[in-house]
Amino acid sequence: MSLLLGDEQPLVRRGLRALFEADPAFRVQGEASNGHALLDLARAHRPDLVLMDATLPGPDTLDLVRTLVEDSPAPVTVVLLTSEGGLADGWVLGAARAGVRGFLFKRGSPEEIVSGVRDVARGGAAMSPGIVGQVLTALRGTHRSPAPRPSGELSLLTSREMQVFRLVAEGLTNQQIADVLVLSEATVKSHFNRICRKLALRNRVDAVILAYEMGIAGAVPDHRSTALQP
């Protein structure tokens, strides 16, 4: 997968480049210190993925994301790196709707960052449970008394899939769900993939929003794992 990196700090870019160049699944095409340079690189190289800091100098980040996602003959997937607790609740929801497929904490381990980006590259999503909590908070602020949607479509789920769906909505990682339900992580992934197909969901953000609209989302989680598996 071809990859572009965007971060204001040269040391951060150097570390990310070394990290992904050591993984044969990725080919780093370039790096940029601001949004204007990143957009120029994206138009020149047409990468598969862009990994960028959420506060990259230059154009408004959400406008930049929309341009990266839409201004290309082939879809460009965007993953944001963020400091823990550094994003406003409403902004996170806007970023997800703009097309961001992953939110990874900068302080995560190298393995967690690479794993999260790899999951996004495979068509999934990567998101910290803290970000899931921010999405729920934003939804609660936007819809103070949400009217539960008809739950008929939930009847498509098996009892086990419903368990997984509820735990996803609470922000648990696949491994945490596996521990709770005494399953393998691979089995949890399979359940979630079937849930997405049955309920026409693209990723975990969609799952959280749907669970909230149906009135079954749990409390805002305080788990602090770095990335959620697709």
Residues 17 and 113 in one domain: yes
**pLDDT surpasses 90 at 34:** yes
pTM tops 0.85, yes or no: no
CB 217 within 8 A of CB 105: no
110 phi/psi in degrees, rounded to 5: -55, -40
Strands across the sheet containing 77-82:
27-32, 2-6, 49-53, 77-82, 100-105, 126-127
Residues 116 and 163 in one domain: no
pLDDT of residue 88: 67
Q: Which residue has the higher pLDDT, 95 or 60?
A: 60
Mean pLDDT across the stretch 81-100?
75
Mean pLDDT across the stretch 24-28?
95
d(CA 107, CA 8): 16
Number of domains observed in the structure of the chain? 2
Q: Which residue has the higher pLDDT, 86 or 165?
A: 165
pLDDT of residue 90: 66
Residue 224 falls within a domain, yes or no? no
- 180: domain range? 139-213
Q: pLDDT tens digit string along 143-167? A: 544 444 445 578 899 999 999 999 8
pLDDT of residue 135: 65
d(CA 132, CA 170): 8
